[in-house]
């Protein structure tokens, strides 16, 4: 029995979501349309039941009001499904929800004899809060309060209906219970959907920016910059990418790069590193930013070895690929600048040198500088490659990482 209720609620919201929907609806608009239909058309069984009950106790005028609401809402919902005009549907239905319970109150002789049926009019400002802007909601609240005041002023002049005391009491329970249940259900669904949208937005944001930077920007949007004395940067680039790209369709090329970078993303997460960006076929990763860590160079070399192993063990897009990988360690400045399309980026000579290590490297070789070699040589086997000419830096010593040292030999002196 318990499992049927959530399923029934899900079926109702799914049905409501199809009425008046368009392919161009934003998440916000789609949610408003769904809630509007659930609030208005979803209460028709209750209003129809109220109409029948009033007829059975011989108050036809009071019975006519919920009957009118039931018929009008059916027609109006069908019209909304055709026109998809949310503003018109929302305004007409909210007006009915506000006025009709008041008319029943007057017809039955006031607050007590109507069992507080005017409480149904409170669904008007609640619905407006979920479906409309706050300024309009304040107007609906003012309208609801005004009806309460008018009813209180008219109360001494109203003719009470001849309803049994037990009926008045139990109908008060039904009115109050039904309205509270509806309000709770609407708010629960609204909050759950908003939480879903918020979590999805958070995931998208965290795919663009590190969590620390994201939290700082949400607190106070501004330029963010920090200096890190110890960090390591890795660049990886596909060998022969330009001629390969010329022989492929754009879609196949994008699919290939997506497959490669998703593989790398998984490895980056394994070592808790920070993917900075992709530039064409180039993949950039940092260690030690924005979370400083003493083993930034070791973590990045481990990543490079795993990347090389993955590249050598599988095909991407039906092709065998080769990569150049370059790593350099040193101080960097990291942060976010600008007002639009935020991107976490790094600046400094360390970044430039890491890029040069990749561009001056060889196929399937992990090329590192002395700065990185000094940090990792006791844990990894490295082969000296001599010096190379680097623009702006002159002759630079380089090594290539060939693998991890056996556990028993780690921490031994480095071979220069």
pLDDT tens digits, one per residue of 298-357: 999 999 999 999 988 888 888 888 999 999 999 999 888 766 667 778 888 999 999 999
Quickly tell me which residue has 């259900």 as its tokens. 185
Backbone phi, psi, residue 108, to 5°: -95, -5
pLDDT of residue 5: 46
**Tokens at residue 41, please?**
């058309």
Q: Can you give the pLDDT at residue 2?
A: 41
With vertex at residue 166, the alpha carbon angle to CA 161 and CA 168, rounded to the nearest 5 degrees, is 40
Helix (H) or strand (E) holding 353: helix 349-359
Question: Where exactly are the structural domains of the chain?
Answer: 4-206, 214-409
Angle 193-194-200 from CA coordinates, rounded to 5°: 90
Which CATH fold topology does 214-409 show? Alpha-Beta Plaits (3.30.70)
- Of 68-82, 213-227, 312-326, give the lowest mean pLDDT range: 213-227
Q: At CB < 8 A and 24+ separation, what contacts does 176-185 make? A: 176/116, 176/119, 178/46, 179/119, 179/120, 179/122, 179/123, 182/39, 182/43, 182/123, 183/122, 183/123, 183/126, 185/9
Q: Is 233 helix (H, G, I), strand (E, B) or coil?
A: strand
Per-residue pLDDT tens for 13-23? 555 557 767 77
Say what the pLDDT of residue 4 is: 46
Listed range (157-161, 177-181, 258-262, 312-316) with the worst mean pLDDT? 157-161
Instruction: With beta carbons less than 8 A apart as the criterion, state whether 317 and 327 touch.
Output: no
Tell me what the mean pLDDT of segment 173-202 comes to: 84
pLDDT in tens, 354-405: 999 998 888 889 999 999 999 988 889 898 888 888 887 788 889 899 998 8
Cut 0.85: pTM above it: no
């Amino acid at each position: 029995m318990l499992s049927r209720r959530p399923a029934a609620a899900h079926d109702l919201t799914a049905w409501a979501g199809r009425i008046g929907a368009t392919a161009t609806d934003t998440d916000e608009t789609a949610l408003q349309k769904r809630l509007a239909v659930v609030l208005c058309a979803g209460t028709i069984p209750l209003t129809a039941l109220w109409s029948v009950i009033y007829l059975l106790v011989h108050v036809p005028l009071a019975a006519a009001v919920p009957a009118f609401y039931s018929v009008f809402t059916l027609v109006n919902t069908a019209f909304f499904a055709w026109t998809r005009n949310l503003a018109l549907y929302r305004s007409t239905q909210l007006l009915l929800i506000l006025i009709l319970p008041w008319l029943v109150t007057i017809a039955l002789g006031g607050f007590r004899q109507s069992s507080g049926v005017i409480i149904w009019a409170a669904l008007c400002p609640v619905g407006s809060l979920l479906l409309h802007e706050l300024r309009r909601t304040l107007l609906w609240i003012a309208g609801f309060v005004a009806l309460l005041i008018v009813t209180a002023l008219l109360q001494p002049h109203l003719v009470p209906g001849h309803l049994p005391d037990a009926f008045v009491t139990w109908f008060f329970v039904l009115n109050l219970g039904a309205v509270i249940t509806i309000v709770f259900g609407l708010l629960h669904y609204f909050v759950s959907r908003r939480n879903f949208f918020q979590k999805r937005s958070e995931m998208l944001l965290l795919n663009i920016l590190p969590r620390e930077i994201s939290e700082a920007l949400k607190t106070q949007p501004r330029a963010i910059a920090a200096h890190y004395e110890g960090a390591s940067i890795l660049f990886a680039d596909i060998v022969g990418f330009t001629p390969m790209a010329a022989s492929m369709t754009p879609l196949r090329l994008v699919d290939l790069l997506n497959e490669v970078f998703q593989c790398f993303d998984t490895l980056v997460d394994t070592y808790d590193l920070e993917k900075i960006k992709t530039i064409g076929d180039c993949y950039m990763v940092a260690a030690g930013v924005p979370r400083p860590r003493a083993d930034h160079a070791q973590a990045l070399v481990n990543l490079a070895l795993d990347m090389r192993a993955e590249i050598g063990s599988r095909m991407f897009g039906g092709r065998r690929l080769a990569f150049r990988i370059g790593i350099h360690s040193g101080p960097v400045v990291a942060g976010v600048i600008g007002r639009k399309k935020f991107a976490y980026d790094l600046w400094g000579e360390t970044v430039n040198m890491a890029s040069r290590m990749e561009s001056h490297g060889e196929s399937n070789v992990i090329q590192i500088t002395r700065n990185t070699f000094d940090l990792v040589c006791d844990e990894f086997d490295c082969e000296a490659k001599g010096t190379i000419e680097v623009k702006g830096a002159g002759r630079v010593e380089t090594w290539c990482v060939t693998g991890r040292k056996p556990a028993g030999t780690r921490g031994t002196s480095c071979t220069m």
